[in-house]
Structure 1
């Protein structure tokens, strides 16, 4: 079974966030790094992975992405702090 991912990226100042879903996180991150993944991430220079969740089913990942996109910013920040309290860029 193939894994799927929900991920959160941010800019170097940690002021703007992007939530995405993918079946291939490393490939998707490469596209964000080279500026070809999203106009939004390219415009705001959002490239730093600060949070991700792994799912065994893409439908679960999509549902989680939609849920997180509807959360208040404070809730998202609290979620990130659980696993990445310093908001450091994660290696994947």
Structure 2
């Protein structure tokens, strides 16, 4: 399995789209700001959207496609299932 995910720092804030094979670990890395990159610089650690894919290749293709979307499309995707922009990490994290 693989995942595409969207992180932000606040509702309607800066968005980051990524792909991974281990969603829990990857989001934990972003939350701890262990990755010295864009997400650390802007404190993007709130998981507001994720979707499952059968392969990492499919997830990476979807990630690249979504990165070219208009901001309004990304916001609509988030708000479809997460209108309050809640942090979904606590939904996927074990106990």
Aligned length: 90
TM-score norm. by structure 2 comes to 0.89
Residue 44 of structure 1 corresponds to: 42
Query: Could you list the runs of 4 or more consecutive aligned residues of structure 1 that deviate by over 6 angstroms after TM superposition?
Result: none
- After TM superposition, give the deviation of residue 41 of structure 1 in Å: 0.7
Gaps of 5+ in 2: none
Alignment of 1:11-90 (within 5 A): 11-90=9-88
- After TM superposition, give the deviation of residue 37 of structure 1 in Å: 2.5
Residues 25-78 of structure 1, C-alpha deviations (whole Å, 9 max, x = no match):
011011101112341111101100000000111111011000100000000000
Which of 35-44 and 67-76 deviates more? 35-44
Gaps of 5+ in 1: none
- SS of residue matched to 2:64: helix
- SS of residue matched to 2:83: coil
